[in-house]
Structure 1
Amino acid sequence: MKALLFGLIFVAAIMIDVAFKPVGPQLGRLLKEGSSDETEVPLRRTMDRTRIWVFIVYGLLIVTSYLGTVKPF
């Protein structure tokens, strides 16, 4: 069970990289065009999607540490 959870942690970590990839061009556009809804809304949406994967990693780490401490199996 812990091995499966560690595998899911790696998948979620990869998804953080995938979800965060558009931030570079979006920040470049923000710097070039300035702050507006057209530049900040897509950036915020990307950050929110990335944040979900970060919370998933945290949750999986908590469950894995719980299983390691309690050793229910």
Structure 2
Amino acid sequence: MKLFNSRYAPNARRVRIFLAEKGLTLPMVEVDLGKMEQRSPSYTAINPFQRVPALELEDGAVIAESIAICRYL
């Protein structure tokens, strides 16, 4: 699993806080919102809604809502 994250996005912050509270670690990929990386074709392939956070699972499935990510974890 890996988490696509932006340090400035409040919903991504929610997931990071959840991970810290639970003592969990995940590989994270920083998505630079200032450079509009969330609108790149490569990120759009991961999350068509072009939002962060997104959790990519081992089987390639993606969870793209912060509350759903927290519930899954």
Q: TM-score, normalised by structure 2?
A: 0.30
Pair member with larger Rg = 1
Structure with the larger helix share: 1
Greater relative contact order (Cα 8 A, min sep 6): structure 1 or 2? Answer: 1
Structure with the larger strand share: 2
